[in-house]
């Protein structure tokens, strides 16, 4: 559930975040009206608590996968919840890129799409990796929550075999598993981000002969 939802949300959320970061008035892809509409939709989706969202979109889930319950059905609300989360955080990291680099690229004749692909995305990539790490961790928590509405996964095991049968040991195992998985995901994401960040720093550090 988490893997597929993360993949789909990444494919949609990163371009959406780039659009939100570059589409306001006077920016690279200036579409202020469209930007406001898309931004309002993203904010609306983020404002709905996940468990309510999952129940609210039952008709959409049933139309997409043919059922409103089960592991496949849980992917739909997980994806819809992750897309605005990723988009807003990607937007934030792209806006933090030094505008001097953007102006330099413009001076060399780069068009908006070249600036996005060659400047904004590479410079913000370490932050985007951390965004995806946070998204995965959030989706792991959400995937446990969908167990309450028949979504399967660890949440379903915890409720059906732990809570319903008053088996504290089962609940303890599920909690430990969730903590361990989250820690591993966080450590791996931070490691990848550091490696990418070092490459970005090395690439942007001027060579000694260029300073003379």
pTM of the model: 0.84
What is 83-142 written as a DSSP string?
HHHHHHHHHHHHHTS-HHHHHHHHHTT--HHHHIIIIIHHHHHHHHHHHHHHHHHHHHHH
Query: On the CB side of 85, how many CA atoms lie within 13 Å of its CA?
Result: 25
Q: Where are the domains of the chain?
A: 2-206
In degrees, to the nearest 5, what angle opens at C-alpha 112 toward C-alphas 126 and 38? 75
Per residue in 163-184, is it b (16+ CB within 10 Å) or e — as a string? eeeeeeebbebbeeebeeebee
In the block, residue with structure tokens 């939802």:
5
Return d(Cα 18, Cα 16) in angstroms, integer. Answer: 5
Return the CATH number of 2-206, one of 3.90.700.10, 1.10.3720.10, 3.50.50.60, 2.60.200.30. 1.10.3720.10
pLDDT of residue 202: 62
**Per-residue CA distances from 118 to 102, 111, 121, 158 (Å):** 10, 10, 7, 46
Q: What span, in angstroms and rounded, lies between the C-alpha atoms of 161 and 93?
A: 42
Residue 210 is predicted with a pLDDT of: 47
On whether the CB atoms of residues 211 and 170 are closer than 8 A, the answer is no
In tens digits, what is the pLDDT along the chain, a chain of 212 residues? 888 999 999 999 999 999 999 998 888 888 999 999 999 999 999 998 888 888 888 888 888 888 777 778 888 999 999 999 999 999 999 988 888 888 888 888 888 888 998 889 988 998 999 999 999 998 888 887 776 666 666 766 776 666 667 778 878 888 888 889 889 999 999 899 888 877 666 666 555 554 44
Backbone angles phi, psi at 30, to 5 degrees: -55, 105
């Amino acid at each position: 559930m988490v893997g597929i939802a993360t993949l789909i949300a990444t494919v949609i959320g990163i371009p959406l975040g780039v659009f939100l970061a570059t589409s306001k008035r006077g920016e690279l892809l200036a579409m202020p009206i469209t930007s406001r509409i898309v931004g309002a939709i993203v904010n609306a989706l983020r404002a709905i608590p996940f468990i309510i969202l999952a129940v609210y979109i039952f008709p959409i889930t049933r139309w997409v996968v043919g059922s409103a319950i089960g592991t496949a059905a849980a992917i739909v609300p997980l994806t819809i919840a992750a897309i605005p989360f990723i988009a807003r955080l990607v937007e934030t990291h792209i806006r933090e890129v030094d505008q001097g680099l953007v102006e330099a690229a413009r001076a060399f004749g780069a068009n908006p799409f070249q600036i996005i692909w060659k400047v904004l995305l590479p410079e913000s990539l370490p932050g985007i990796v951390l965004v995806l790490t946070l998204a995965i961790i959030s989706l792991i928590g959400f995937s446990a929550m969908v167990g309450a509405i028949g979504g399967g996964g660890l949440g379903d095991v915890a409720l059906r075999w732990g809570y319903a049968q008053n088996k504290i040991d089962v609940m303890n195992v599920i909690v430990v598993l969730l903590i361990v998985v989250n820690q591993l995901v966080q450590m791996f994401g931070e490691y990848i981000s550091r490696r990418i960040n070092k490459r970005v720093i090395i690439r942007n550090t001027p060579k000694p002969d260029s300073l003379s």
